[in-house]
Amino acid sequence: MSKLKIVLLSALISIVVIIVILLFFIPLSQTFPASLHLYPYESHRLIFNDTQGSGTEILVMTSGGQVSLSLSSPTGQKIIDNVEVTSSYYYDFNAPETGTYMLCIKNPQISGAEVTIHIIEERSLISFL
């Protein structure tokens, strides 16, 4: 009977360890896509929430023109400051603080531009629950 108890206890400990690893240590990605058309001299702001220390990727693709990007943290600190994008731009950062981030996209040209944006946040499973 004692061997059965040891085997069951080992199996239970293994299951608990696997659950803890899945909930806290394996990152999952959540993508927020957006597509928009910017008319001449038009700008749009995208607002998203982020958690301090979480990995966030921003992918911007444009066709038909050039756009300017700025990203501000919840305290107003510029993370990306007026970067010019002509075809695609990728930025990866760890959120310096928890709160609402604002991505501003401006079309400084006299022609329109098609813009596709993907904001990808990596979080642990526990943060989704």
Q: Using one digit for the tens of pLDDT, what is the confidence trace for 74-122?
A: 888 899 999 999 889 999 888 888 888 999 999 888 888 889 998 888 7
Tokens standing for residue 16: 């608990």
pTM over 0.75: no
Q: Is 14 helix (H, G, I), strand (E, B) or coil?
A: helix
H or E segment and range at residue 68: strand 67-72
Contact 52, 95 (CB under 8 A): yes
Tokens standing for residue 67: 């756009």
- Closest by CA to 45, choosing from 114, 104, 111, is 104
- The whole-angstrom separation of Cα 83 and Cα 129 is 35
| pLDDT confidence bin for 34, thresholds 50/70/90 | confident
